[in-house]
Chain A
Amino acid sequence: MIRPLRVRHRWMITLLAVALIALFIAALVARKPAPVAPRIPETIKIGRAGYQPALPILGVDKIGRAGYQPAPPILGGERR
């Protein structure tokens, strides 16, 4: 290969290396987290008569008030 082309080739590779490594990192950082599986209520998941799911932990209600105590869950299960 003739010399000016060799020199251009080397510059091109160097620039390409820097640009691609930067893009690789940026693209992986910008990636959205993997979607988590939707939370399915225990009563629906198990569905056996007489099953008592664990009481929910004290949380924050829909409008952000702490100490919210949701209503105790109803005994789940299939209707007979």
Chain B
Amino acid sequence: MSDTYFYIFAAITVASALAVVFKRNTVGASLAFLLSLCGVAGLFLQLDAQLLAVLLVLVYAGAVVALFLFIIMLLNMQGGDRPVFKKMTIVSSTIAGALLLTGVYLLAKRPELARLPEAGQPASVLLDLKIYGAKLFTTYLLPVQVVGFLLLIAMLGVIVLSKKFEGLEDVK
């Protein structure tokens, strides 16, 4: 039964991810992205990672894609008649795809993978959230801070790029 669910969600995820790339209509592509995220959330649920699934839906499906749509609609972006792929894009994406596939293949062939310990249920489902939070603020504090710092840099970059600093020559 769970295999069937896995195949359903995997098919939704992959098919809609392909649709994101190939759809010419930008709004349609964003909605396909939304569907893809929902498929991934379903896969997370299969793995008993309810929190992750819910956070994915809440943050990405609920807010980020809505923001994408907002920007698309605000700027009135249309697909237009330009070719979907430039030559450069095809070459680079082929290389990137090949690298990714190789990486996944090598990872799957690693002997350690076969001997990974059973994930097992957390001691109590109720404890899940608390453990998650505790890990985030103790063991993985550094990655969290780094990611936060990265986001801060991105935000500053956006402000510098988009804001017109008139009369402030030194900023330019």
Q: Do A and B bind each other?
A: no
Binding site for A on B (CB under 8 A): none
